[in-house]
């Protein structure tokens, strides 16, 4: 018996829908039209489905609008067509116009929104659906749980799980797998295990999801064991499962996975090789998905020869394959090899994508080739925040702080939202060039982004304000932090020490220990610096005892700080004993010891130690020469001073700077060889350094050289007109020579320019604390009859701010 015409045409449409055959489908559409069946709602619905499957949304829309009385299936069909075509706005409009909505209508919209990246809106639709009194299906839960997974919305996922239990769908395999995916992605592996262990018949999707969650949480060994169980239980193994477990083995070498030790890494590569053998057995090794996972495994374990071997064995590679190989060389910091791979990639006819350039960018930054990194960065059409962070970090690492700040400004203009890493890097750059004004702007940006309370960002703010001398602001940020780590405490202590708030540094060090924080080498180095600044030997010895107790006495930086402290406190013999006991020394340790001898008038010992250093593998730097030139100056070794100045450039390739010339001029000045000092000044490139002229002027005052003293004073009047020292020194020179008119003229000039002589003070440390003694307002400036008033350091007094 022949089928009715409508049923025959419907069957034809079904076959063309299955085959996605647009042209024959259009022919059937023409037959429907010629047979006068265009008003048939059922056939029209099938036509919408045909055009939807063939990605012809415009035809589907025309058919829908031609239906005289569309039913709920018609509405669902056109909404589904719009969703498949990614026209979510039109789908939403049609959904709002629907006279009657059923569960399928809601499921279609929720699924489309979740797939289209509008996960939050998908959740809103889900909650509206519940309010409408409709019961969700397994398809509803799958879409909603997918949205929760992508949003990392664990609490919403838990609520969805609860409703699935309530409606009896929690044991549906489709829902169970969606729950596994949600819990693993949200980091709740324990919940995922509970679901997995309760599953009656877990399939390959279940095992793969669980393995992926374990990999993400850093449990590579657990993932490998689960794969073994999957294999033993006879669960079909597909390329996705193989790739997942290979990812777990690769993760075992991931530097960011702090949970993994060396044994885990060895385990990872051994299991990876076993999985490679299994993939060969099943014939999966030639597939790009498994092949790329193998390349990634070997690349992450640093075996680039093996990685290239797999790469070359693949019958067909793709851009992903090239990117993994380039990223492998980038991980090793081999930027040259990574760039060569880029050239080979292009010669092979593959066009690099954004991932390629991001991998190259990371390679160049890691190898320190920031110029090449910037070139790669500029090739990224729309760099994301990770790419910005990489190049900004590169500039910061090479101390190109100004370039980092300029690039950050460009990032702002391109409306890329900074994250915690971005802000921390830029705050570090502001610290590096002491740029508190911009640091305050970054602080404001962190508040707008709600990141100012993030420990990483707050630590950067404390460090920036501390290093820039804004101690009050640093303290305010520190006090507002909801939680603090040792880095935050160290930033405050080093800030106090750096700006001579030595009492506060001690107080914070004590509070840090009382708060259960164990000091690090940075804590000890800072607080020892404060002891040195206060010349407080008793406190320094106490801290030294704690350092020994905590095992930091062999740390180079702490050791160098201890040498400096003992030397500044005058106990140079103990400083040398500690120096000799250090198992490892760097140039800072040598410099501190040489400078310690110089400070304490032991010039010959300083020179002897310097000569001994030259016989070792340690190379002197510019600071070393400042120390040895100072030693020569303080001990009257003029010829040695001149010899070392001459050797700087000739033997060591170090260009003398203003500080070196200052030491030499001081040495010549002390010896009364002012003519030679004048010749040195004429030859040196840095003539606008006021310290050089101050040293020369002091020497002229000692030796009564009015002519040269006048030249030095005139330079200082030009460079620093409000500094009282040159006026007083020049006036004293004239007075000592009996040139009273000239002395009066200098004092008149000082009065005319409103220059005020700074009052001097002395201080002492006893059992009751540190006391400072300052010249009283009634004291005679010339120093014949001065009354001294005592004040205790630590009180809130304008004279105590430096303390």
Same domain, 511 and 553: yes
What's the pLDDT at 767?
A: 57
Task: Kindly report which listed range (249-258, 393-402, 417-426, 755-764) carries the lowest average pLDDT score.
Answer: 249-258
Task: Kindly report which listed range (139-148, 188-197, 212-221, 621-630) carries the lowest average pLDDT score.
Answer: 212-221
Would 538 be classed as within a structural domain? yes
- Per-residue model confidence as pLDDT tens digits over 445-467: 899 888 888 888 998 999 899 88
CA 291 to chain CA centroid, nearest Å:
33
Q: Helices 622-634 & 587-599, crossing angle to 10 degrees?
A: 20
User: Which band of pLDDT confidence, cut at 50, 70 and 90, is reported for residue 608?
Assistant: very high
**DSSP H helical ranges for 684-777:** 690-703, 706-719, 724-736, 740-752
Q: What percent of the chain has pLDDT over 70?
A: 90
Cα-atom radius of gyration of the chain, to the nearest Å? Answer: 39
Would 515 be classed as within a structural domain? yes
Tokens of 270: 């051994």
Other CB atoms within a 10 A radius of the CB of residue 532 amount to 22
Spatial neighbors of 446 by CB under 8 A, at least 6 apart, are 423, 452, 454, 457, 461
Same domain, 523 and 445: no
Last residue of a domain, one of 480, 504, 523: 480
Question: Which strand (E) or helix (H) includes residue 766?
Answer: strand 761-766
Do the Cβ atoms of 561 and 532 come closer than 8 Å? yes
Would 365 be classed as within a structural domain? no
| Mean pLDDT of the residues in the chain | 83
**DSSP H helical ranges for 116-233:** 119-131, 138-151, 154-166, 173-185, 189-197, 204-216, 220-232
The arithmetic mean of pLDDT across residues 741-755, rounded, is 86
**Number of domains present in the structure of the chain:** 4
- Per-residue model confidence as pLDDT tens digits over 302-338: 788 888 888 888 888 888 889 888 888 877 778 888 8
Do the Cβ atoms of 93 and 123 come closer than 8 Å? no
Same domain, 473 and 505: no
What's the N-to-C CA distance of the chain in angstroms? 108
Same domain, 490 and 505: yes
Same domain, 415 and 474: yes
Task: Kindly report which listed range (63-77, 164-178, 505-519, 700-714) carries the lowest average pLDDT score.
Answer: 63-77
Same domain, 463 and 399: yes
Same domain, 488 and 572: yes
- Per-residue model confidence as pLDDT tens digits over 679-689: 988 888 888 88
Would 200 be classed as within a structural domain? no
Last residue of a domain, one of 565, 584, 603: 584
For residue 68, give the DSSP letter: S
Print the domain residue range for 798: 762-803
User: Which band of pLDDT confidence, cut at 50, 70 and 90, is reported for residue 235?
Assistant: confident
Tokens of 55: 């990605």
Which residue in 179, 220, 222 sits closest to 198, CA to CA?
Answer: 179
Q: What percent of the chain has pLDDT over 90?
A: 25
Same domain, 502 and 575: yes
Same domain, 516 and 566: yes
Would 334 be classed as within a structural domain? no
Task: Kindly report which listed range (124-128, 550-554, 715-719, 755-759) carries the lowest average pLDDT score.
Answer: 755-759
Which residue in 625, 519, 631 sits closest to 572, CA to CA?
Answer: 631
Do the Cβ atoms of 436 and 464 come closer than 8 Å? yes
Whole-prediction pTM value?
0.59
CATH label of the domain that carries residue 543: 1.25.40.10
Same domain, 580 and 490: yes
Last residue of a domain, one of 536, 553, 584: 584
Which residue in 419, 369, 418, 372 sits closest to 397, CA to CA?
Answer: 369
Give the bridge partners for 763, in sequence order: 772
What's the pLDDT at 799?
A: 30
Tokens of 709: 């003293």
Same domain, 454 and 471: yes
Using alpha carbons, list the distances in angstroms from residue 392 to 127, 166, 373, 485, 626: 42, 51, 10, 25, 34
**81 burial type by CB count under 10 A (0-12 exposed, 13-18 middle, 19+ buried):** buried
Would 713 be classed as within a structural domain? yes
Would 599 be classed as within a structural domain? no
Would 667 be classed as within a structural domain? no
Residue 777: pLDDT over 50: no
What's the pLDDT at 99?
A: 84
The arithmetic mean of pLDDT across residues 126-136, rounded, is 90
Between CA 781 and CA 760 the distance in angstroms is 10
Same domain, 488 and 560: yes
Residue 130: pLDDT over 80: yes
**297 burial type by CB count under 10 A (0-12 exposed, 13-18 middle, 19+ buried):** buried
- Per-residue model confidence as pLDDT tens digits over 360-385: 888 888 888 888 889 888 888 888 88
Residue 157: pLDDT over 80: yes
Do the Cβ atoms of 540 and 569 come closer than 8 Å? yes
Using alpha carbons, list the distances in angstroms from residue 442 to 270, 387, 427: 47, 19, 7
């Amino acid at each position: 018996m022949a089928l009715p015409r409508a049923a025959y045409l419907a069957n034809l449409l079904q076959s063309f829908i299955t085959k996605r055959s647009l042209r024959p489908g259009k022919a059937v559409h023409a037959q429907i039209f010629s047979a006068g069946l265009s008003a048939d709602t059922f056939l029209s619905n099938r036509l919408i489905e045909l055009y939807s499957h063939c990605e012809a949304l415009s035809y589907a829309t025309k058919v829908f609008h031609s239906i005289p009385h569309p039913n709920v299936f018609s509405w669902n069909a056109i909404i589904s067509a719009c969703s498949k075509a990614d026209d979510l706005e039109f789908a939403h409009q049609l959904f709002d116009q629907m006279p009657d909505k059923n569960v399928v209508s809601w499921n279609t919209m929720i699924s489309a929104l979740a797939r289209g990246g509008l996960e939050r809106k998908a959740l809103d639709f889900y909650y509206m659906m519940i309010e409408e009194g409709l019961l969700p299906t397994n398809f509803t839960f799958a879409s909603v749980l997918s949205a929760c997974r992508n949003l990392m919305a664990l609490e919403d996922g838990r609520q969805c799980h609860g409703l699935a239990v309530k409606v009896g769908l929690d044991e549906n395999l489709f829902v169970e797998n969606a729950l596994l995916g949600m819990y693993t992605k949200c980091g709740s592996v324990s919940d995922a295990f509970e679901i997995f262990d309760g599953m009656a018949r877990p399939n390959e999707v279940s095992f793969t999801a669980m393995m992926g969650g374990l990999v993400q949480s850093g449990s590579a060994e657990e993932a490998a064991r689960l794969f073994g169980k999957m294999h033993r239980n006879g669960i079909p193994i597909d390329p996705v499962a193989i790739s997942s477990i290979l990812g777990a083995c690769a993760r075992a070498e991931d530097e960011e996975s702090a949970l993994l030790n060396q044994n885990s890494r060895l385990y990872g590569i051994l299991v990876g090789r076993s999985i490679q053998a299994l993939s060969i057995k099943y014939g999966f090794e030639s597939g790009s998905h498994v092949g790329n996972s193998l390349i990634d495994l070997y690349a992450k374990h640093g075996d680039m020869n093996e990685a290239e071997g797999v790469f070359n064995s693949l019958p067909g590679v793709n851009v992903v394959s090239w990117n993994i190989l380039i990223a492998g060389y980038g991980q090793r910091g081999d930027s040259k090899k990574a760039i060569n791979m880029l050239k080979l990639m292009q010669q092979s006819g593959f066009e690099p994508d954004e991932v390629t350039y991001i991998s190259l960018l990371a390679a160049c930054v890691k190898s320190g080739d920031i110029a090449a990194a910037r070139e790669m960065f500029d090739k990224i059409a729309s760099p994301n925040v990770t790419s910005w962070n990489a190049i900004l970090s590169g500039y910061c690492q090479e101390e190109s702080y100004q370039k980092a700040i300029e690039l950050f400004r460009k990032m702002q203009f391109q409306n890329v939202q900074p994250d915690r890493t971005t802000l921390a890097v830029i705050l570090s750059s502001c610290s590096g060039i002491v740029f508190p004004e911009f640091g305050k702007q970054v602080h404001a940006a962190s508040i707008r982004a709600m990141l100012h309370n993030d420990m990483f960002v707050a630590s950067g703010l404390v460090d920036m304000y501390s290093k820039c001398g804004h101690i009050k602001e640093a303290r305010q940020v520190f006090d507002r932090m909801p939680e603090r780590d040792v880095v935050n405490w160290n930033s405050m202590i080093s800030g106090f020490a750096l700006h001579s708030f030595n009492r506060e540094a001690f107080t914070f060090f004590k509070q840090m220990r009382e708060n259960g924080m164990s000091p690090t080498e940075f804590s000890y180095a800072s607080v020892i610096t404060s002891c040195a600044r206060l010349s407080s030997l008793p406190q320094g010895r106490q801290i030294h005892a704690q350092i020994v107790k905590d095992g930091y006495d062999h740390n180079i930086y702490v050791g160098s700080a201890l040498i400096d402290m003992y030397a500044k406190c005058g106990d140079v013999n103990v400083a040398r004993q500690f120096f000799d006991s250090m198992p490892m020394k760097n140039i800072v340790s040598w410099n501190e010891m040489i400078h310690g001898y110089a400070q304490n008038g032991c010039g010959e010992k300083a020179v002897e130690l310097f000569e001994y250093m030259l016989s070792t593998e340690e190379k002197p730097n510019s600071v070393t020469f400042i120390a040895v030139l100072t030693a020569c100056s303080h001990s009257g070794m003029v010829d040695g001073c001149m010899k070392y100045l001459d050797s700087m450039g000739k033997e060591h390739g170090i260009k003398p700077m203003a500080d070196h010339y200052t030491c030499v001029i001081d040495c010549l000045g002390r010896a009364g060889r002012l003519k030679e000092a004048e010749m040195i000044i004429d030859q040196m490139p840095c003539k606008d350094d006021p310290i050089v002229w101050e040293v020369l002027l002091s020497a002229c005052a000692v030796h009564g050289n009015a002519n040269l003293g006048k030249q030095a004073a005139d330079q200082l009047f030009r460079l620093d007109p409000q500094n009282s020292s040159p006026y007083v020194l020049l006036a004293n020179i004239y007075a000592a020579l009996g040139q009273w008119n000239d002395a009066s003229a200098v004092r008149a000039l000082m009065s005319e320019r409103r220059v005020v002589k700074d009052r001097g003070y002395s201080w002492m440390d006893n059992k009751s604390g540190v006391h400072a003694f300052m010249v009283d307002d009634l004291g005679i400036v010339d120093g014949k009859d001065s009354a001294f008033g005592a004040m205790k350091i630590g009180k809130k007094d304008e004279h105590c701010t430096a303390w």
